[in-house]
């Protein structure tokens, strides 16, 4: 199911059509703990020309610091010529998805500043429901993120797009385009969660991405 059809906080829906000024956010609890959130951030004015290998490397470093500081994993991300997609999921009950995105936006804006660009004032998000966190559905959402360059007509095959990937602290070799990626990702996720003392990592035996603190349906 297309992710954009699941959320009022979709980049396909203008902010003005939902709420004058800033978009209304869910309660803070929706972004804490083991929540899984798809974030979309757009460059102001849909401007292009900023996406380079150097900026990509700087943003990857920023994402890694964000994940380490706020106890997040980034199963997939994809940078497009005028926006970016990030799938973030908490490792433990103390994880802060909102804090993670605030830092990520700050670091991305700092990198964009050198190019004369900046992000739109607010990100869009979709907090995955319990059903969407079921393993197969969750992985379909991740594949949807990675297919953005193909849908956008930038490349014919997503493997040709260099500005996408996965980041989990301590596991630099994870690559969504490698055979067996999901098995490797879940092992890494479970290992980090265990290191942080979160026994819920065993919940994956039920073939579900670990539940968030909200238990949203």
Consecutive 10-residue averages of pLDDT for the chain (217 residues): 32 32 67 92 96 97 96 97 97 92 97 95 92 93 96 96 97 96 96 78 46 44
Would you state the pLDDT for residue 5? 30
Would you state the pLDDT for residue 208? 53
CATH of span 3-206: 3.30.70.1290
Buried/exposed 147-156: b ≥16 CB within 10 Å, e otherwise: ebbeeeeeee
**Whole-prediction pTM value?**
0.81
Would you state the pLDDT for residue 18? 29
Residue ranges covered by each domain of the chain: 3-206
Would you state the pLDDT for residue 47? 96
Number of neighbours of residue 114 by Cβ within 10 angstroms: 11
């Amino acid at each position: 199911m297309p992710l954009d059809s699941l959320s009022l906080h979709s980049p396909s829906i203008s902010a003005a059509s939902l709420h004058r000024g800033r978009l209304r956010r869910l309660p803070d609890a929706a972004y804490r703990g083991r929540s899984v959130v798809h974030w979309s951030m757009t460059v102001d004015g849909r401007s292009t020309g900023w996406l380079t290998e150097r900026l990509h490397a700087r943003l990857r470093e920023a994402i890694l610091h964000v994940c380490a500081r706020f106890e997040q994993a980034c199963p997939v991300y994809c940078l497009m010529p005028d926006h970016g997609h990030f799938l973030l999921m908490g490792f433990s009950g103390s994880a802060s998805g909102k804090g993670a995105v605030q830092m990520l936006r700050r670091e991305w804006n700092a990198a964009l500043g050198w190019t004369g660009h900046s992000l739109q004032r607010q990100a869009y998000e979709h907090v995955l429901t319990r059903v969407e966190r079921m393993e197969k559905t969750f992985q379909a959402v991740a594949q949807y993120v990675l297919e953005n360059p193909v849908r956008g007509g930038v490349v014919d095959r997503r493997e040709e797009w260099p500005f996408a990937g996965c980041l989990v602290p301590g596991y630099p070799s994870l690559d969504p385009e490698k055979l067996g990626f999901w098995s490797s990702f879940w092992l890494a996720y479970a290992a980090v969660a265990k290191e942080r003392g979160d026994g819920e990592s065993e919940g994956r035996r039920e073939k579900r991405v670990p539940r968030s603190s909200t238990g949203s349906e």
